[in-house]
A and B are shown apart, each in its own frame.
Chain A
Amino acid sequence: MHGVLKVRTSEEKAKAQRLKELEKIESYNKLVKSFEELREKENGRYNEVSLSVSKSLLIENPEYYTIWNYRRSAILQFTETKENSELQVIYQNEMKFLEECIQRYTKSYWIWFHRQWIALRMDQCDWEREMKLCTKLLNFDLRNFHCWGHRRFILKHSNIKLEDELKYTTEKVEQNFSNYSAWHQRSCILPKIYKEPEQLLEKILEEFELVRNAVYTEPKDSSSWIYHKWLVATLKSIPNSNHIEVLKNELTQIYDLIELEPDCKWPIYTTLLLKIEIGGFDKQELLETISQLVKLDPDHKNYYKSLETKI
C-alpha cells in the first residue's frame, strides 16, 4: 500500500536492546573481577593503580559503597606517605569525580558522605561551588534531603551568610510550600540569625503570618502545620514573649479557617494543641474536639486518645 512505512517491530527492537544490555553486563562483570584480583594482589598496599581501577568501576556503578570505603582507606594510607601538595591534587580530582557521580545518583548516601569527608580534608574547599551544586540539584528535586543536609554541613564549615540561606528557603517555600526540608531549614537557621529574644520574637510573629498564607492556600498540607507547631514551641521558649496573647490570636485566626474547611483535621488538631498550651479551657470541650479528630482521622486514633492525658 502506498504511503505505509516499513518499521522495525517492537520485538526486533527489544531483541537488539537485550543484546546491548548483555554486552554491558559482561563488561561490568569483567571489571568487577579485575578489581577483586587487584585487591587480593596488593593486600592493603595501595598505589595510583588502586585509585584508577576503583574509579573505572565506580563510573559504571557509583552505588557500590564498598569501593568508596576502599578509596578512603587508600587515601588515608596516602596521607602517611605523600606530600600535602600531592594530596590536595588527589582531593581536587576526587571532588571533580564526585560531582559527576552525584549528578547521576542524586540520592546516594555514600557519595554524599564521601564528598563531605573529602571536603573537610581539603586546604581550601570551594564552599560557594558546593552551595551551587546543591542549588542546581534542588532545582530538579526540591525535596532532596541530601542536598538540604549538605547545605547545613556547608553553613557549619564555611563563612556563607545565614541570611542568604534564609532568603533561599523563602524562595523555595514560595515555589512550593509543601516542602518539609525547606521549612526545617528555616527552623534551623532562624534562631542563629536572630540571637536577641526581641528580634526572634518579631521574626516569629512574621513567620506566623507566612504560615497563615500557606494553610489558607492548602489546609491539608501537613508541612506548614508542622512548622506552625515549631513556631509555637519556639515562641514559648522566648522569655517575656507574652506568648499566651499571641496564641489566642492564632486560635481565632484558625477558627475562621475551620469555618471554611470544617472537615479538615489539621486546623482542628492545631486548635486543640493551642488550647492545651493556653490552658483554662473546659475539659469537656477539649474531649469533644478529640473525638471529632478520631472520627475525621481514625488512622491516628490512639495518638489523639493519648492527648487526653495532657488535658
Chain B
Amino acid sequence: MEEERKNNSNWLENDKFDCVILGTGLIESLVAGALARAGKSVLHFDKKVVYGGFESSFNLGQLTTILQESNTNVLLDKKDLVPPYFENVVINKAVQTASLKEEENQIKQEETISTTTENKEEDKKEKVETTTTTAATTMTTENINNNDENVNDNNNNNEPEVLQVIDVPLAKEKTLEELGRLFSIDISPTLLYGRGALVKLLISSSASRYLEFKSLDQNYLFANGKVHEIPSTKGSIFKDSTFSLKEKRLIMKFMESIRDLKKEGSDLDDSKKEEHFKQSIAELGKQYKNFIDYIKSYKFTELVESFILYGLSLIHEDLDSIPLETGIESVSLYTSSLLVYGVSPFLVPYYGVGDIPQAFCRLCAVFGGSYVLGRSVDSIQFNQETGKVESIICSEGQTIKTNHFITSPKYLNTISSQNNLIQPQKTIRKTYSRFIGIIDSKIIGTQNESFITIPPKSINGKNKNVINILQLSSICVPYNKNKVLVHFTTLAESTAENDLKECVEQILKGKKDSEKDSASPSLLWSTYFNYSVDFVETINQEKDNNIVVCSDSPNGQTVDFEYHISQAKKIFETICPGQIFLEKVPDADDIIHFEEPETTETTTDNKETETEQKVETEQEQKIETEEENEKEQKIETEKKE
C-alpha cells in the first residue's frame, strides 16, 4: 500500500492545521468560513475540481461530462463516489444544425445513454459493451468541447470581417454546444426568502459582497391543468381573477392572522414578539395538533386550501405531519419576505446556486484558509491513547497534522483508518428525481424567472409527491438567445424519468388561454437523473474522536437554508465554544492595518495582519481568475441589457 501511494511529503509547505475539512458543500463551506473568521487555521479539500458538492453549478459542457461520468461510476470503486454524483442518468439531445431550416428538421438526432439501473443487471459481456459506448460518448463530448473552442476562435477571427463586409448575411445562429459555456446549471436549484436565514447570514457575515441575486418574477400553482399566479401582496390579490370575492377575503384574513401571531409590524422588540408567538402557538396547539388541522379549520375552498398549503408554505414533504409551529413559521417567512427585495418573496442567485458555498469559501480564504481542489483525504490517523484525530494523509501522500476533521457521510466512506475507529454515521437518506431541460421559449403563461409548484396527484392523478419547477430565462442562460432553463425536482419514487416524464410533457405542452398565447416550447436538450442526500441526525462525534460528520447540503424540495445554517453553527460551536459564528467583517476603511508598536504584543499582532493581507490578495487573485473566465461573458451581456 505505502509503496503504491504517492509520497509527496513536501507537497504543502504548512503541514499543521487546526481543522481539515473535506468537501465543499454548503455546510462545510459555512463551517470553513466561520472557523477561519474566528482565527482557526483551515485546510479545505474537495475531490472534485469545482466548489459546492451537490450545491454546485455547471455550464452545459461540464454538466454533460459529470453526468456521463456518473454512468461509468457503477464500474468504479466506491472511493470515487463523492458529491456530486448521480444515478439513472438519461441525456436527450436534439442536435440541430444551425444552418438551413429544412435541414434542421431532417437532422434531428436523439442520443440516449443507457441507464445505470440496466447496467447493474447486465452480465460481464454487456458490461464491456456499455463501457465502450460510454467511452464513445465521452469522446463526443471531447469533440464538442473542442468544437466549442474552435468556434470561438473562428468567431474572433470573423468579427472584423463582418464589420468590413456589410453585405454578408447575419452570422448563423450559434448551436447549443457553442453557447454551452454561457449556461449556469444548478444540480439542486433553490430559492432564498428575502427575510430568510441565509439572506440574514449573508448580510451579517458580509459574505454578500461576493454574490448577486435577482428577484423571482412570479410563483405559480399548477391546478386544473394550468398555471395560476400565486397572488400574495394586497395588490395582486386585488387584481387577481382566479379567486372569488369571498375567497379573496378569506386569503387576506388568513395572512393577517399569521402576521398577528408574529406581531409583525408592531413596535414590540424581537424577544417580546417571540414570546407572544410561542404563547399563541401553545394556545392554538391545544386545538390543533398539526399545521394541516389548523388549515382545515378555516374551511377554505379546495383551491384556496391548496393555494395556502402549496403556495404560501413551501414545506411539502410529509404534509400531514408538519407540526403547527413549523407550518406557521413557513407561511410567516413567506409573508414577511414579500416586498422586501421585490414583489416576490424570493431571490435567485444570479450565477447559480454554486456561488453560495463559494462565497463562504472565499470568506475563509480571505481569513487565511487554504484551498485545494481536485485532492482528497486518503486516511485518518488517530492518537493511540486518546483515540482522537492526530493527522490525515492527503491524496498527495503528505501527512498533515490536525486537531479536527470535518466531512460528510459520502466522503467518510471513501476514507480508510487504522482499527476502524470511524463510527458509521446514523443518517437519513433522501433521493430526489431531477429533470433539467433547455427549451426555446418560456412555459406558456409564465414570466422570465418563475417558480411553479405542482401539488400531489395533479399530473393525471399520478404524481405522489409535490413537484417543483424553477424556470430561468434571463439569468443563468446565454443572453437574448431564446434559451430557457427549466429545473424539475421531486422526491423520488422511482427513477427520475419515471417520476417526471409525464409531468415534463404536460407542463411544456401547456394550456393556451387564447390564440394570442405563444406556441409551446420545444426541448433542445434535456436530462433526467437521481441523486441521494444523506442527512446526519446528530452532530456528536466531536466528543469521541474529533471527527465531525455533517449532512450533505442540498435541499432539493424545500426552500431556504435554515437547516444548513443551524447545523453549521452547531459544528462551529463544538470547535469554538462561546465564539461568534461568522462575525461581521468590518468595512475595509475601518480596518487598521499598521499601527505604531507600543508593546511587544502588538508587534506580533501586526505581523499577523500583514500575512493576512498577503493571503487575502493572493487568494483573491486566484479566485478572481477562476471566476472571471466564467463570468466575464455574462457580465458583458448584462451590461448590454
Which A residues lie at the B interface, using CB under 8 A?
1-8, 13, 174-178, 212-214, 216-219, 256-257, 260-261
Q: Is the CB of B245 within 8 A of A3?
A: no
Whose C-beta in chain A lies nearest to the C-beta of B605?
Answer: A6
Q: Which of B39, B235, B249 contacts A3 (CB 8 A)?
A: B39
Give the chain A neighbours of B235 by CB distance below 8 A: 174-177
Q: Chain A interface: which of B73-81, B84-92, B585-593? A: B585-593
A2–B249 CB distance below 8 A = no
Interface residue B209 (Cβ < 8 Å from any Cβ of A): no
Q: Which residues of B contact A218 (CB under 8 A)?
A: 234, 238, 252
**B589's closest neighbor in chain A, by CB?**
A8
- Nearest B residue to A221 via CB reads B234
Task: Give 16 A-B contacts (CB < 8 Å), ordered by A residue.
Answer: A2-B39, A3-B36, A3-B367, A4-B39, A6-B592, A6-B605, A7-B591, A174-B238, A176-B233, A216-B245, A217-B238, A217-B249, A217-B252, A218-B234, A256-B245, A260-B249
Q: Contact at B239–A213, with CB atoms within 8 Å? A: yes
CB-CB nearest 5 A-B residue pairs: A3-B39, A2-B39, A6-B592, A216-B245, A7-B586
- Closest residue of chain A to B593 (Cβ to Cβ) is A6
Return A260 CB to nearest CB of chain B, in Å.
5
A13 to chain B, nearest CB (A): 7
Contact B39 A177 (CB under 8 A): no
Contacting pair A257 B249 (CB below 8 A): yes
The answer to whether residues A3 and B40 also contact, given A174-B239, A212-B245 and a CB cut-off of 8 A, is yes
The reply to whether B252 and A5 form a contact with Cβ atoms under 8 Å apart is no
Min CB distance B384 to A, Å, is 30
Selected contact of B249 from candidates A13, A176, A216, CB within 8 Å: A216
**Inter-chain contacts of A8 with B (CB < 8 A):** 590, 592
Give the CA-CA distance A13 to B39 in the complex, in Å. 26
* Min CB–CB distance A225 → chain B (angstroms): 14
Given contacts A2-B608, A3-B367, contact A213 B245 (CB under 8 A): yes
- With both chains docked as a complex, state the minimum distance between the C-beta of B31 and any C-beta of chain A, in angstroms: 15
A216 to B592, Cβ gap below 8 A? no
> For A257, what are the chain B residues with a Cβ–Cβ distance below 8 Å?
245, 249
Per-residue CB contact flags for chain B residues 3-40 toward chain A (1 = under 8 Å, else 0) read 00000000000000000000000000000000011111
Q: Are B246 and A256 in contact (CB under 8 A)?
A: yes
Among A2, A8, A176, A256, the most chain B Cβ lie within 10 Å of the Cβ of A2
Complex CA gap A175/B585 in Å reads: 38
Interface residues of B in 133-156 (CB under 8 A from A): none
Given A6-B605, A174-B235, A261-B249, 8 other A-B residues pairs in contact with their CB atoms under 8 A: A2-B608, A6-B593, A13-B590, A213-B239, A216-B248, A217-B234, A217-B249, A260-B250
Residues of chain B lying within 8 A (CB to CB) of residue A7? 586, 590-592
Task: State whether B246 touches A213 (Cβ < 8 A).
Answer: no
Taking CB as reference atom, which chain A residue is nearest B237? A217
Q: Which residue of B lies closest to A253 (CB)?
A: B245
Q: At the interface, yes or no: B595 with Cβ under 8 Å from chain A?
A: yes
Closest to A177 in B: B238
Find the residue from B39, B245, B246, B367 having the highest chain A CB count within 10 A.
B245
Chain A: minimal CB distance from B426 (Å): 34
Contact call B592/A260, Cβ cutoff below 8 A: no
Residue in A closest to B368 when the chains form the complex, CB atoms? A3
Query: Is the pair B37, A3 in contact by a Cβ cutoff of 8 Å?
Result: yes
> CB distance B234 to A178 under 8 Å?
yes
**Which bucket holds chain B's interface residue count?**
20 to 34
Q: Nearest Cβ distance between residue A206 and chain B, in whole angstroms?
A: 14
A6→B250 CA distance, assembly (Å): 55
Task: Write out the residue numbers on chain A whose beta carbons fall within 8 Å of the beta carbon of B591.
Answer: 5-7
User: By the criterion CB–CB under 8 Å, are A213 and B238 in contact?
Assistant: yes
Residues on B with C-beta less than 8 A from A214 are 238
Q: What's the least CB distance linking A196 to chain B, in Å?
A: 28
Q: Which of B36, B253, B585, B590 has the most CB of A within 10 A?
A: B590
- Interface residues in B577-618 by Cβ distance below 8 A to A read 585-586, 590-593, 595, 605, 608-609
How distant is the Cα of A218 from the Cα of B595 in the complex, in angstroms? 60
What residues on B are CB-neighbors of A216 within 8 Å?
245-246, 248-249
Which of B233, B238, B246, B595 contacts A6, CB < 8 Å? B595
Which residues of chain B come closer than 8 Å to A3, judged between CB atoms? 36-40, 367-368
Q: Are B608 and A217 in contact (CB under 8 A)?
A: no
Q: Within residues 214 to 265 of chain B, which ones have a CB less than 8 A from any CB in chain A?
A: 233-235, 237-239, 245-246, 248-250, 252-253
Q: In the complex, A183→B38 CA distance in Å?
A: 56
Q: How far is the CB of B233 from chain A (nearest CB, A)?
A: 8
CA separation between A260 and B250, bound complex, in Å?
9
Please determine whether B586 and A5 come into contact, CB atoms closer than 8 angstroms.
Answer: yes
A4 to B580, CA, bound (A): 12
Chain B residue nearest in CB terms to A212: B245
A residues near B239, Cβ cutoff 8 Å: 174, 213
Min Cβ gap A259→B in Å is 9
Output the residue of A178, A214, A219, A261 with the most chain B CB within 10 A.
A214
Known contacts being A216-B245, A256-B246, A257-B249, is A5 close to B39, with CB within 8 Å?
Answer: no
Complex interface: chain B residues within 8 A of A260 (CB):
246, 249-250, 253
Q: Report B359-392 CB contacts with A as 1/0, cut-off 8 Å.
A: 0000000011000000000000000000000000
Chain A residue with minimal CB distance to B595?
A6
**Max chain B Cβ within 10 angstroms of own Cβ: one of A8, A256, A261:** A8
Q: How far is the CB of A100 from chain B (nearest CB, A)?
A: 26
Contacts of B367 in A (CB 8 A): 3
Docked CA distance A176–B236 (Å): 8
A contact residues around B592 at 8 Å (CB): 6-8
Instruction: Name the residue on B nearest A170 (C-beta).
Output: B239
Contact of A217 among B37, B39, B248, B609 (CB under 8 A): B248
Contacts of B585 in A (CB 8 A): 5
Q: Specify which of A13, A177, A213 is in contact with B248 (CB 8 Å cutoff).
A: A213
Report B-chain residues with C-beta under 8 Å of the C-beta of A174.
Answer: 235, 238-239
Cα–Cα distance between A256 and B249 once the two chains are bound (Å): 11
Please name all residues of chain A whose beta carbon is closer than 8 Å to the beta carbon of B586 when the two chains form the complex: 5, 7
Give complex CA distance A118, B239 in Å: 40
- A121 CA / B401 CA spacing, docked (Å): 82
| B246 surroundings in chain A (CB, below 8 A) | 216, 256, 260
Residues of B within 8 A of A178 (CB): 234
Q: Given the complex of chains A and B, what is the CA–CA distance between A308 and B585 in angstroms?
A: 66
Q: A177 CA to B585 CA in the complex, in Å?
A: 42
A178 to B592, CA, bound (A): 50
Among the interface residues A5, A7, A176, A260, which one has the most CB atoms of the partner chain B within 10 A? A5
Nearest B-chain residue to A209, judged by Cβ: B245
Q: How far is the CA of A4 from the CA of B39 in the complex (A)?
A: 7
Q: How far is the CA of A13 from the CA of B591 in the complex (A)?
A: 12
- In the complex, residue of chain B having the shortest beta-carbon distance to the beta carbon of A5: B591
B422 to chain A: closest CB distance in Å? Answer: 30
With contacts A176-B234, A177-B234, A217-B238 taken as known, whether A5 is within 8 angstroms of B609 at the C-beta atoms is: yes
A94 vs B605: C-alpha distance in the bound complex, in angstroms? 57
Smallest beta-carbon distance B613→chain A, Å: 11
A36 to chain B, nearest CB (A): 38
Residues of B within 8 A of A2 (CB): 39, 608
Kindly list chain A residues whose C-beta atoms are within 8 Å of the C-beta of B590.
Answer: 7-8, 13
How close is B404's CB to chain A, nearest CB, in angstroms? Answer: 16
